[in-house]
Chain A
Amino acid sequence: AQTVTQSQPEMSVQEAETVTLSCTYDTSESDYYLFWYKQPPSRQMILVIRQEAYKQQNATENRFSVNFQKAAKSFSLKISDSQLGDAAMYFCASTSSGAGSYQLTFGKGTKLSVIP
């Protein structure tokens, strides 16, 4: 079984500043993927960034980047130049290949507020 832990229920950041959201995970699998999803008030889940565990290079998507520390099982998300539209719930997730399909296990989420 996989577990994903987000220890920050809420975070806030000043507009244009940088914020880092923490995530740790536990898995016994060698083949897995890690994700950060954003859920705005509309509740539509939006993929922010994805990391393949076998890749050492940290994934980046424009203002979003991750710090993937495989040995420490840590997967933090850094948001640079924060914008008002970044305000949302952020969920860290990992996959497991249960039932022959890649099932997602989510953390409890971090609510990010952006202060103008």
Chain B
Amino acid sequence: GAVVSQHPSRVICKSGTSVKIECRSLDFQATTMFWYRQFPKQSLMLMATSNEGSKATYEQGVEKDKFLINHASLTLSTLTVTSAHPEDSSFYICSASLLGGRASEQFFGPGTRLTVL
């Protein structure tokens, strides 16, 4: 149980285009979903926290107009990278907290590798 999927697993796009990444909790309802960014050989950096039906809370330094987060249901959150540029190339990981479960426990998706040409 407690499986989180991400789609796509890899995406290559041209500079200036927008890319949408989906994060789904497959077998549970998630109170909260988190989006992280991970550069090569570095740790995970929290980008934003989102609760279903509410606006996401972004971490300091993360441009909310560039990284649009929508959390439309208890099983789906999307991250849209708008007008992507090469510096946005990174590994994006989502996680979800289980509704009714231990609030501190997060289940991670497999990640999405974004390459902007």
**Residues on A facing B (Cβ under 8 Å):** 33, 42-47, 50, 91, 95, 98-109
Contacts and interface: CB of A to CB of B under 8 A. Distances in A.
Contacts of A105: 46
Contacts of B45: 106
B51 A45 contact: no
Majority DSSP secondary structure for residues of B touching A? strand
B110 A43 contact: yes
A60 B43 CA distance: 24
A100 to B, nearest CB: 8
A103 B93 CA distance: 14
B80 to A, nearest CB: 20
Interface residues of B, number: 23
Nearest to A108: B43
Nearest to A95: B104
Contact of B43 (A33, A42, A91): A91
30 contacts: A33-B104, A42-B110, A43-B93, A43-B110, A44-B110, A45-B44, A45-B93, A46-B108, A47-B105, A50-B105, A91-B44, A98-B49, A99-B49, A101-B32, A101-B34, A101-B51, A101-B97, A102-B97, A103-B34, A103-B46, A103-B49, A104-B34, A104-B46, A104-B106, A105-B46, A106-B44, A106-B45, A107-B43, A109-B42, A109-B43
